[in-house]
Every structure is written in structure tokens, then in C-alpha cells.
Structure 1
């Protein structure tokens, strides 16, 4: 079906990204998976092309194009090439909006040029060992001491935390017994601050090219000048960006499902069984037809949601619907595609195996799909 999401400017950007991925990402991707991270110099190359600074105002070295559709193209072109862009998605779609929305002028001058040119890498530290989707239960605390906060606590499952120069830490700066959501603040911890340490790199089943680590904070003195926004207002800030975060997962899920379908069609046309191409069997045709139909439905749903997000009209419930449906479609599509590879699908030398393990986390992060159902149910008055 015809997509009406993109303009000529988007199409030109897509070609630039496609060329970059083919030249700078694909040839090295297997090595990066082994290393567990994408090298810093690749972020700098992305910055030099202007890709990382699209949404950053021109006066700080960006392009001033705060249009989420450019972020969509990045994901689609990476998926098309059967790779990911490591933590770029997290930095642009999840973390940068906090800086854009809540950084004051001094912070913008200090951080935005480095964010735009790829020399400052970021992470956001929300999740704790005992706190996942229940952000109101955060225990990491920060006590005001003059012009600093003294930060203590631990975070886990932090994407990009290994290389991050700036880590937005969600910490409790006050307690209100009658309102668990009150009293959370956003503090930007900088690499090298005494007491800030990075723990072990977690060994994940998938998403190997982006590092995921544990972080700890032991009496870290964070300047008040590094607080984003108002003290105690972080819960509302996090809720403000959740729709885009969930759309980011939905967009990636559809793009990766489509890539799985394309590579499976190609494989089944070449692979022979009983003297015939696997694609010639009725079961293969029916499976691929069903997968293609589901992906098309998910694509149309996600495209509509993206347009509403760009227009500032996407509701939290609709973002939850898109994330729920797209990730479930991805799971079914990749699983059925892997089946058509037979035993080879279980071998990591084939991209479908990596796509299978990468897909599993999509139903967990940015809020589990069970949480998505709760949000949707509430919108129905239930």
C-alpha cells in the first residue's frame, strides 16, 4: 500500500543514510557484535553528516529539523540492511528529547554542540535492580548540599552506559508519603565524576551491538547546574516522552519484521528441498502471504501514529496500541520466517537468527506489553 509519510527532503535523507549504512556499518557489523559496541568514531561520522543533530537548533551546530520522521528513516534503513545503529536510536529518540525540552540556555551551550557532532554520547538511567516499569518506586536518591546534590544508588539495564559521557539519572530528591510520583528529579552525571562507576557489561541474548551495563553512584557530587528542569518534576517529564519512546520501538519492530520477510523470501527462492525451491511449496507461500499481510497492517497503523506524533496529537493509549501490535507482529513474523530457514535458521551465521533474538526484548522495554494493555484498558474506561 502507498505510504504518505515522507516528503522529497525525507527521501533525500533516506538515500544519504542508505549509503552510509552500506559503507560504514554493514562491512564492520559482525566485528562490532563480537566487541559488544559500535566504536565512538562511528558516532562522530554520523555527527559530521548532520544525522545526530537534525533536531538540535542551528545555533548549536544542528539542523533545527525536529521532525520524528527522520528518526523513522534511520531505523528503516538500518533494518533494511539487516543491522542496527547500536545506541543511536536510544540517544536520538529517547534521550535527546529531554535535553531539547528541559535544558536551560547555559546547558544548551555546554552540551548541544557535542550532542550534534557525536563527541558527547548519552544514556538515561531509570531502571533499578528492583524497579522496572514502576518508575515511582525509584530509590536512587540525591540530597541537596549547597550548590550540589549528593547522589547515591544503583541502576541496571542501562543502554549505552558504557560509553556515555552524559548520563541522565532519575533520582529521588524528596519524598511525599501521599504521592509516590512526586519528588523525582533528572540529574546529568558526567563521565569522570568521583563516585560514578560503571559495573559489568550485561550479557544479553540479543541486541549484541549495543552495550547494556550496570551503573552505581556513591556520594557523587552533581552540580545543581546539571539538573534538567525543575526539582521534583521528573515523573511528569518522563511521561511526556513515553509516547515517542514507545513509537520508537513500534517503528523498529515493523522495520525489522519487514526485513525478516524480505530476507526469507530471498532465501526460500534459492534454497531447495526435494529438488524444488522452498518458495514453490504451498505452505511457504501461505506463510509468507500471511506474514506480509500482518506487516502491512502494522505498517499502516504505525505510519498513522507517526503522523499524529509529528503533529503533537498522539495519545498515550494510541502509542501503547501501536507498540503492542507492532511488537507482537514482529514476534510472530520473525518466528515464522526462521521456521522457513529450517535448521539454518538456528545458526547465528544467518541474520534471521540474530533478528529472532533481537526481537524478544521489544515486548519488554519501553514498558512491557502487559503494561501497554493496562494503558489501553484504562482508555476504554475499564
Structure 2
């Protein structure tokens, strides 16, 4: 996977964090202080913003957020449509064999009923069989015993694996994306890579990432776990919570405070619990088929040489880097899981008879299958687009947030509104995939970042350069002049503000006078072209909407979470529409194209506040009828669940 990380030749063993004397306020910290927030809140938020800036600096300028397709789609004079096209991954034969062999392992155990142990967790024997065929080394370089798989191929494969088992697909993401593999591969020195990557590749050291604490979730500045250097090792004390894939003997990336700054230690956990290392076990509904536990460290020693030292930034920099991979993987998992739901809905719809007619012939069920198809294609499109961007070297922060939110919200909607309602009361029987997995279907809305919080992070990334360029100078000038309520008709105010306000006025007038032009789109079916043109037009217009909110609320915008979330959601929907329509236009399967068209219609109804038309209902139910006849691609390897509480068919 190409990351195009910049290495200016800095010593990897030199301290990366700034001292207090070197502290430079970030945009967020400055804005919050000018807006009247407390020094503590401004400092904490600024630390997160600074970590984000440091991640940016890991990437070449052309691949940073301000040059990303999502950012440019709003702020450029025209949408860079060519950057919304994804290149289908080319998977080498030897990598494809690892994937096919892994599918074979899971399929065999699923059919035999041997995936789970007595605790209802994925059996260790299954994980080791997967290790034997190379499953855990897909994202590790060949020199360390892995497959060096591109992320595009990996993400598409996770969607395929999730059609069989979402937990095993999720474990690959935990291990390779947010677990120890990405931190060591990206930030480790030569010795660390040699010591850790071979075991991570061959599955002898499965991994996790220990970031969350009882008091530190979205506020990562509240970390309390500490590591104090004592001789040639760090002594760790503290507690972690909600850590997935943790059992004794695993390897974790541990985020903790070293010299009061966030840092990451690579930790090989002992084979058994002891006085220094304890697992905190609790009942948890979500991710029920893997081990999710807390970890308590009491004077636990970790070798000094296990500390990861990024060229720029600190432990938060390392944590944020892998999250984007995990967010795309989550969307891929959602695509596969919804295919699994669809594969369960089809036989049930043909079996279940009401009023002498199979419900597969009923419009409501057909609409549900049609809408499910659209959600799956939307996830497929975002996975293909985002993973391709990451392979090409983009940071992909904004794009990966879109994929995570769309994937998680789609799966939630599909599970509750489409899957559960079609199966009715049988959804709640023991052994039914809905009742047994409902928390797993909902958990992605929280994991990898709660959706609305991530939506505001998307908005912050979207407005950051515009605010720093045009609004921050005005705010500083007002603060310096002691002006709390500026009045442009007051000559004294106008004189103070003129030098800093002129660049903004020039931008604003130029944007308002800007004439719209047709986007440069490739050959597309007319329906999909119409959606792409609509998305481009609305995205370009969004710049003035966002600027208007920044004008209205100014330095208080950070407190207007509802408005930020709404504007963020509109941008996300438009970008999803553009990515989906351009993805589907390059697909040969007509059912996929129709599914994308109907998803885009649904998004336009939402954006325009319009009711569905009769034509839409005719199209979506027609698609549902095709899906119920087996026309949707990607269901071939799915073992559908047995129909529960069968009854004898009525006499003819």
C-alpha cells in the first residue's frame, strides 16, 4: 500500500513532541480562545487539532486534506470529477490464492457448525487455520512473510469475507488496520519491524489497539495510562476499556502517556494473567463473537525499544493514521453483511405466504430488497473509491469518514427497517441472524468514531483552511483592538478591519459572481450522469452555504453542533451520490447500475425534501423483484440461514 509518507531525514529516535516553550497554537485552539472558551478546553481541543496537523505532514502536499477530492469538490471552482473515479484493483495470483483459501476455511467451518467455541467466540483453531493460509499477513510486506496486498484488494476481499462471517472479516481489520500491523509498518524503525512484523504476518501474534479508557473516548486528551522509564524498560500503569481481540498472548499497540505526551508502545502481552497484567471482563452485547475486554496494568514492564517514534507528531498521530483504514474496512464489512441479510430475505420471501400469495410478490418486500441493493452498491462504491485513494497516497481523512458513516448507517437501516421487518417475529428467535447479531449490526455506528461526532470532524476538516485563511485574521484583529461587536458602519471599526477583511471580500465577491459550468464527466448512462451533474452543482454551491454559517456564527460556530452536523450531512450525501454514480457507470451489470440510480434518487429526495414519486416506487419494486429472482451479484458464496419455525404449505 502506497502511503507516500514524507521523510525529511529526521532521526527516528529523536523526541517528536514539542516542548512547552515550542508550543504553537493550532487553528482550533486559537478559534476557541477567541470565542471565549476556557484555556483548558481550548488546549485540549487544540491538542487533537495539532495531532491532525501532524498526520497531515506525513503526506506529500498533493495528497493532504486540502487537496483531497472531497475538499476540492466544495472549494474549487469546479469539481475534480476525475478524482472520483476508482481503478479496479489487480490482485496478484498468489494473493488471490490466500484470499480463496481463507474463504474456503471459513466456509467449511460455517457449514460444519464449528466456527464458535463453547463461549460463543470464534474458535482459536479457526484463527490458526486462517494463519496457515496467510490470512493475517495480507497487509504485511513480503520481506516479513506477508502478501503485501494493496488496500484496494484487501478492502474488496473483506466485503467478500463478511458475506460469510462479519466477525472474521472484522478481525482482519482489527489486526491489520487499527491493530499493531499498521503502526509498526508505518512508524516502526528497522529493528521494530524485524521483531514484530513476521509474527504479525504468520498469525502467531494476533493484535489489537488499546486506545480507549474509562474516561477517554472521543476526548483523547483525557488519557490517564502512563509509562515511566525505569532503566531499560517502561513501567506501565492504567486501565484500558472496550479493547477488541484481546486475550493473553496477543500483541497490542498501547496508547499511553510518556513524559505527559501521548505515545504508542508495542506490547507483547503475557501468555497468562498475572499481578502486573489483568483482563477486565464484563458483559457486552456488541461483537459477541470476539473477545472485547478491559486491560489493567499494574507496574507492567515493556522494553524501552518498543516505543514507536514517528518522524512527526506523537501517539495520537499514530492512532489517527490507522483509523482511516479501519473506517473503509467497516464500510466493506457493511457491504458484505447486508449481502448476507439479502441472501436470508430472498428464500424467506418466497416461502412466506400471506393471503395465498408469497410475500416476494408484495410491493413492500420488493421495495425493501430494492433499497437494500442500493445501499450495498453505495458501500461498494465508497470502498472502491476510498481504498483506491489510500493506495494512491492520499490521506483520505474526509473520504474515509464518509465511508464509515454511510456504511454504518446503511447497515443499521437495513437491519431494522428492511431485514427485521421482512422476517417479522422470527427475527427474535434464538438462532436467527437478526436476533443473534442485532448489536453487531448497530455497533458500527459507534465504533471507529460515533457517526455524528465524525460528521463534525468532517466539517472541521472542510472549513479549516477557509477559516484559517479568512476568518482567523479578522478574529485576531478584533481581539487586538478590543472590539467585541464589530460594526462595519463605524469608521474606527472599518479602519481596523479593512486590511484583514479585504482578502475575504475578494473571495466572497468572486465566488458569488462565479458562473456554473458543466462538470467534466466521462461517458455515463443518462440517469447516472444526471445524478453526477446534480451532485457537482450542489457541491459547488455548498461553499457559500458553509461560508454563510461561518459568517453568521463566527467564533461561536463550534457550539452550533446541530448546524455543523446538518451541513456536514448534506456534503456527505452529495459526495456519496457522485462517487456512487461514477462507480456504477463503469459496471457492466445492469442490476448494479439500476441499484445505484435508485440510491441516488433516494438521496436527492432527502436533499430536496421531496416525496418519492410513483415512478420511483415502480422502479424500486421492479428492482426488488429482480433481486428476489437471484439477479443481484455477490450472493454466490453465501450459506443462507435455515428458515425457522417452518410450517406446512397450504393445500392446493
TM-score normalised according to structure 1 size: 0.89
User: How far off its partner does 1:66 sit?
Assistant: 3.9
Alignment match, 1:187: 265
Q: Which residue of 2 aligns with 1:49?
A: 133
Is the CA contact (8 Å cut-off) linking 1:345 and 1:352 kept in structure 2?
A: yes
> Structure 2 matches for 1:144-293, cutoff 5 A?
144-175=229-260, 183-192=261-270, 195-230=275-310, 233-293=314-374
> 1:323 offset after TM fit, Å?
0.8
In the alignment, does 2:172 pair up with 1:94? no
2:91 touches 2:153 (CA, 8 Å); kept in 1?
no
Change (3 A) 1:222 1:314: closer
Q: Distance in 2 between matches of 1:236 and 1:120?
A: 24
Q: Distance in 2 between matches of 1:236 and 1:25?
A: 39
Structure 1 residues 342-361: aligned runs within 5 Å: 342-361=424-443
- Alignment pair present for 1:133 and 2:218: yes
RMSD: 2.4
In structure 2, C-alpha distance between the alignment counterparts of 1:132 and 1:21, rounded to whole Å: 33
Against the structure 1 CA distance between its residues 328 and 359, is the aligned structure 2 distance closer, same or farther, given a 3 Å change threshold? Answer: same
**Residues 115, 122 of structure 2: 8 Å contact kept:** no
User: Which residue is 1:27 aligned to?
Assistant: 112
Displacement of 1:163 after TM fit? 4.1
Higher-strand-fraction structure: 1
CA contact (8 A) 1:305 1:318 kept: yes
The CA deviation string for residues 213-259 of structure 1, in whole angstroms up to 9 with x for no partner, is 11011111211012122597111111222211211212212221222
- Work out which of the residue numbers 2, 7, 18 in structure 1 matches 2:103: 18
Equivalent position SS for 1:184:
strand
Match of 1:364 in 2: 446
Higher RCO (C-alpha under 8 Å, 6+ residues apart): 2
**Superposed displacement of residue 97, structure 1:** 0.5
State the alpha-carbon separation in 2 of the partners of residues 296 and 91 from structure 1. 26
Equivalent-residue separation in structure 1 for 2:91 and 2:149 (angstroms)? 16
Question: Which is worse superposed, 336-345 or 9-18?
Answer: 9-18
Is contact 2:99-2:135 (8 Å) kept?
no
Q: Distance in 2 between matches of 1:115 and 1:298?
A: 29
Verify the 8 A CA contact 2:332 2:379 in the aligned structure 1.
Answer: no
- The count of residues paired between Structure 1 and Structure 2 equals 371
Q: Does 1:37 align with 2:140?
A: no
Contact kept? 1:334, 1:356, Cα under 8 Å: yes
Residues 80-101 of structure 1 deviation map (CA, whole Å, 9 limit, x = unaligned): 2255316332112211111211
CA 1:297–1:73: 2 relative to 1, 3 Å: closer
Asked if the contact 1:261/1:333 (under 8 Å) is kept, the reply is no
Name the counterpart of 1:374: 456
Q: Distance in 2 between matches of 1:14 and 1:199?
A: 33
Equivalents in 2 of 1:281, 1:225: separation in Å?
64
Counterparts of 2:325 and 2:91 in 1: how far apart (Å)?
Answer: 23
Shift of 1:202: 2.9
Q: Distance in 2 between matches of 1:123 and 1:82?
A: 19
Query: 2:154 — aligned with what?
Result: 71
| 1:180 counterpart residue number | none
Q: Give the structure 2 partner of residue 118 of structure 1.
A: 203
Q: Mean Cα displacement is larger for which, 75-84 or 149-158?
A: 75-84
CA distance in 2, matches of 1:244, 1:8: 18
The corresponding residue for 2:90 is 7
Q: CA, structure 1 residues 305+11, in 2 after alignment: closer, same or farther (shift >3 Å)?
A: same
Alignment partner of 2:259: what SS?
coil
User: Structure 1 pair 24/105, CA: closer, same or farther in 2 (3 Å)?
Assistant: farther
Q: Is residue 108 from structure 1 mapped to residue 196 from structure 2 by the alignment?
A: no
2:635 match: none
- Unaligned 5+ runs, structure 2: 1-85, 464-549, 551-652
Query: Matched residues in 2 for 1:77 and 1:26: separation?
Result: 17
Secondary structure at 1:133 match in 2: coil
Which structure's residues are more often helix, by fraction? 2
Query: Following the alignment from structure 2 to structure 1, what is the Cα–Cα distance between the partners of residues 139 and 419?
Result: 36
Q: Distance in 1 between matches of 2:379 and 2:195?
A: 41
1:352 positional shift:
2.9
Name the CA shift for 1:298/1:190 in 2 (closer, same or farther; >3 Å): closer
Q: Is the contact made by 1:320 and 1:372 (CA closer than 8 Å) also made in structure 2?
A: yes
- Structure 1 residues 205 and 60, CA, compared in 2 at 3 Å: closer, same or farther? same
Q: How big is each residue's C-alpha offset from its partner over 1:313-340, in whole Å with a ceiling of 9 and x where there is no partner?
A: 2421111111111111111111121110
TM-fit CA distance, 1:59? 3.0
Q: Call closer, same or farther: CA 1:315–1:202 in 2, change over 3 Å.
A: same
Deviation for aligned residue 1:296: 1.9
Provide the C-alpha distance between the structure 2 equivalents of 1:217 and 1:306, rounded to a whole number of angstroms: 36
